Every structure is written in structure tokens, then in C-alpha cells.
Amino acid sequence: MDLAKLVPVMRRLALEAGDAIMAVYDGPDFEVRAKGDASPVTAADEAADAVISAGLRTAFPDLPLITEEQAASHALSAQTFLIVDPLDGTKEFVQRRGDFTVNIAYVENGAPVAGVVYAPAKGRLFYTLANGGAVEETGAFAKDQAGPLHPLSVAKPDNAALMVVASKSHRDQATDDYIGRYAVRDMTSAGSSLKFCLVATGEADLYPRLGRTMEWDTAAGDAVLRRAGGQVVRFDDRQPLTYGKPGWDNPFFIAFAPGVVLK
């Protein structure tokens, strides 16, 4: 895959999807429906999914495409594919808390090698570069021209005073108990895949997830974090998180800056 071609398309589609999402978010009250797994879905999820799916299928017709809203119709046999969560953090969206993201990723041989995470309500845009590394873009977010780019690099952690980020909507006692094993200087909560990006920028050192996630929830943020020098490993055996698993379910995992002594 030519990442120099792929990444600009992913970036543009994430921005276009963000516009579709914000049109619903900034409008009058919207309907919230329950999917088969009881998770919420709105017109914004569906509009963003349509924008991204059409754009990716046009640009890369030979690549398998998995999206959250269409996953039930997919049976994957490849280890190389595009995977999309058009609106990660629907609960944050519904409550108008702003911590929701558009996520587009490219997985090659089971590893996330390119990704875009866009938080339209917060005006933050993160993505991997074709030639290595990851950036946060600032500015007006023009569709056809990138603005100022700020290279991302994880922090050098102090294990006596760690910065920890955890889920805002899915926090539980098991997560709190695990975090309690560390010497924590400060802790913040964030929704959606923004947690990966906060580790990538150095705003946090550690993000443990002891709860259910799907591959489309994590792939783009995982790609950004890895390109910023971070790691994402399974909670059970500390091996790198992989993609293309049956059913798309992730195990529990830990995302962190190298140097954190995992407990």
C-alpha cells in the first residue's frame, strides 16, 4: 500500500465525516436508537459511515473495508484491511460532551500501520505520516491542504509520578484497582480514542483498558500511538495487540509510553 496516497485520503474523509457529525450535533434534538448489541446509534453515526465508506471504496476498491456500522455483514479472511469507527464515543456525543472521534485505520499483516483520529467538537486532529511518525495538525483543517503539523512523541515517564488517562463512560472498579498499583501524579478521564492520542502527545503516560472494546474502536488511535513511540499490549500476556481477530473483539489491553514499569 502506498501510504503517501492513503493518508491524505483518510485525513480528508475524516474531516468530511466530522462535518456530517457536527451538523447533527449542533442541530436540534436527534433520535438515539439501540443497535442489536444495545449500544446507541444516531443519524450522525450513519452519515459519517456513509461518507467514509463511499470515499474509501472509491479510492481503494481492492482493499477490504470493515466499519462498525456494517461489521455484521463482513467476514474477513485477510490480515490487511481498512477499518473504521465513524463515530467513536456515541455516548459522549449523545450527552454533548465533545469527547467523540472519527477513526480510520489501515491494518497490514495484523498491525495498525496508518491511522487518523479526528475530534471535531474539540478541534483536534491526529494522524500518522507516510514516511513514519505521527503528528497533530492545527489550523483551519482545509480538506485539500494540511495545516501546521506538530510531531508527536510520548513522554519520558516518571514511575514515581505517572499521568494516567482512563475511560470517561466505561470506568469500573477493576480499572481503578489496577491503576491503584501505580504511583499516580494525576489522572484524567477522556472519551473515545482520544485516550491513545493523549499518551501519544505526552499528556498522559498510561491508559489501561479492562473492558470490552472492538477493533474499530482502537485501530486508528493505536496506529497514532505506535508511530509516536508508544506501545499497546494485551493485558494478559503483554504481547502487542493484533487486528483481524474473529468477531473483532479486543482483549483487555494497556497503552503506555515506554519506560512505564507495568504492574
pLDDT of residue 159: 98
pLDDT exceeds cutoff 60 at 231? yes
Looking at residues 192-220, what average pLDDT do you find? 96
**Contact status, residue 118 vs residue 221, Cβ threshold 8 Å:** no
In percent, the amount of the chain with pLDDT more than 70 equals 93
pLDDT exceeds cutoff 90 at 169? no
Lowest mean pLDDT among 43-57, 167-181, 223-237: 167-181
* Residue ranges per structural domain of the chain: 3-151, 162-256
pLDDT exceeds cutoff 90 at 48? yes
Residue 64, phi-psi category: left (phi > 0), alpha (psi -120 to 50), beta (remainder): beta
Amino acid at 169: S
Phi, psi (deg, nearest 5) at residue 49: -60, -45
Q: Tell me which CATH code domain 3-151 carries.
A: 3.30.540.10
pLDDT of residue 133: 97
Number of CB atoms found within 10 A of residue 100's CB: 30
Nearest of 119, 74, 70, 69 to residue 93 by alpha carbon: 119
**Contact status, residue 167 vs residue 209, Cβ threshold 8 Å:** yes
β-partners of residue 137 are 125, 149
* DSSP 3-state of 22: helix
Q: Is the dihedral angle over the CA atoms 178, 162, 128, 12 positive or is it negative?
A: positive
pLDDT of residue 71: 63
Band of pLDDT at residue 40, cut at 50, 70 and 90: low
pLDDT of residue 109: 94
Mean pLDDT of the chain: 92
Residue 60 grid cell? 481503494
pLDDT exceeds cutoff 90 at 246? no
What distance in Å separates the CA atoms of residue 124 and residue 114, rounded to the nearest whole number?
17
What distance in Å separates the CA atoms of residue 211 and residue 74, rounded to the nearest whole number?
24
pLDDT exceeds cutoff 90 at 247? no
Fold of 162-256: D-Maltodextrin-Binding Protein; domain 2 (3.40.190)
Amino acid at 218: T
Band of pLDDT at residue 123, cut at 50, 70 and 90: very high
Q: Is the dihedral angle over the CA atoms 36, 217, 40, 212 positive or is it negative?
A: positive
What distance in Å separates the CA atoms of residue 1 and residue 219, rounded to the nearest whole number?
17
pLDDT of residue 141: 97
**Contact status, residue 18 vs residue 102, Cβ threshold 8 Å:** yes
Nearest of 41, 67, 42, 63 to residue 53 by alpha carbon: 67
What distance in Å separates the CA atoms of residue 221 and residue 114, rounded to the nearest whole number?
9
**Contact status, residue 120 vs residue 22, Cβ threshold 8 Å:** yes
Looking at residues 68-72, what average pLDDT do you find? 70
What distance in Å separates the CA atoms of residue 3 and residue 21, rounded to the nearest whole number?
26
pLDDT exceeds cutoff 70 at 208? yes
pLDDT of residue 95: 86
